[in-house]
Structure 1
Amino acid sequence: MTQRGPEPWRLPRGDEVETQVPQGIDTSIAHPARMYDYFLGGKNNFAADRAAAELILQAVPETRYVARINRDFLVRAVRTVTAEYGIRQFLDLGTGIPADGNIHEVAQAVAPETRVAYVDNDPIVLAHARALVSGDPRGRTTFFQADLRDPEKILAAPEVRDVIDFDQPVAVVMAMVLHFVRDAEDPAGIVARLRAGLAPGSMLILTHASFKTEALKRYAEEVYDRASAPVVPRSADEIAPLLAGFDPIEPGLVRAPLWRPDPGTPEPTPQELEEAVVYTAVAVKT
């Protein structure tokens, strides 16, 4: 692996002229949500995000594939818990930039009355969400700025409680976010504190990045460490404890393409499965 050179993912202030951003937000520092938007082919990102994303793609070209299979899993999971488990409210933590297959779109296509609370710590993400997201008028959506490391604040927020009734089952979505929580920040404890505020029958939809090799893992950690969040890829054995207190539904904790693929979907090739470095699970609060 070559040594790191200059840091092209941090640009001088004032270089960004692509869109208005909330005051105090430094778009010269890459942000994971906007990098993810770039991986999906979106346009809601800045030069710093694209530069950081391209560094990842140079080392891990399959990152675009990983972003897509994660998104496809999320669509299947939301559809499943809405249609088969009767969930009518979702709490999405780490919303990201809106893209095709938003939670409210998928869920409300099954049950128009479904309510969704989107939560993210990036004001730019929420600004995009408010501008781009519209749902079925029979349901409701809301947006709240908070960090998933403060679950009590999220659970108590009037903006969230105005839409989500925590006395009834709710599906908590944590898609590609917990690998931005360091071990010292106790990701399992964060999930446990969220679980404590949920009614029986509530569900957790989880996706989490892993890596094929230690070398790629270290490279990703270096790049994201220069962005606004660290990345901590974990193995399946390290991800499994995050589901404590939840009972995974079939097929359990598996790589994204293996979780209840749509009928007619070709079986992934060995190479595709090797590159599918995102683990997924849907689980019920026990």
Structure 2
Amino acid sequence: MSTLVYDSGAVLGRHLQRIRHAPGVVILTQSMPINMLLFFGYVFGSALAMPGEQYRAYLVPGLLAATAAGGLMTGMFQASYDAQRGVTDRFLSLPMSRVAVPLGQTLADLLTTLVGIVPLLLVGLAVGWRIESGVAGALGAVGLLLLFRFAAAWIGTYLGLLVRNEEVAGQLGAATFVLPLLSNAYIPSEGLPGWLRTVAEWNPISAIAAAVRDLCGNGAPAADAAWPTAHPVAGSLLWSLALLCLFVPLAVRRYARGGE
């Protein structure tokens, strides 16, 4: 256990140093939700049934959920970047825990996300979003967001180690932008056609967005929604834990195989 902690800490430090020396990608990915909040909130908001300020209050939790799901893209990019340049194989040649390298990478992503959501929260408050349920609800919402981000980063790490090509990972990462669109992150799922509503409500991002709204007092989930969205806190926990149980061993095994 001590070896795992030490090795994971070393990999975590390496990733944080790399972010410090090349902050452009982090700035771009963390500023994108703010741009989307301003664009969707002030441009599309006027075309929806909700008044502008009410829609922005609805939108902020959805963008927080989409940001948590962004761990899929960043995990994929980081893992493929190291694999393509031989860094992963060099780590494999060292007497390190096989869990340490993917764990250190995902923990670095988690810390970066924790810092990165602060500007989005501040801009959300500036445009009319409010936390109506108190500190406990807000902390619970942040905890769920980070847990889901951690799970998404492990999925991305596995896929990045699988493709081992930065360009392919970039194309797959761009495709992940569709996932929040097929959820209730930006618009309520109640108005979608029957089959599309089912897809949206079983999307893990919908459960996360609904949980953040519920915990922050921004609206109760629809009672007639699919179970994960109708019970979003429990649904978010189950989705996150199930994804971790599936993709942590897959990513570790894929890392241990190297370039085979």
Which of the pair has the greater relative contact order for Cα pairs under 8 Å at 6+ separation?
A: 2
More helix by share: 2
More strand by share: 1
Normalised-by-shorter TM-score class: 0.3 to 0.5
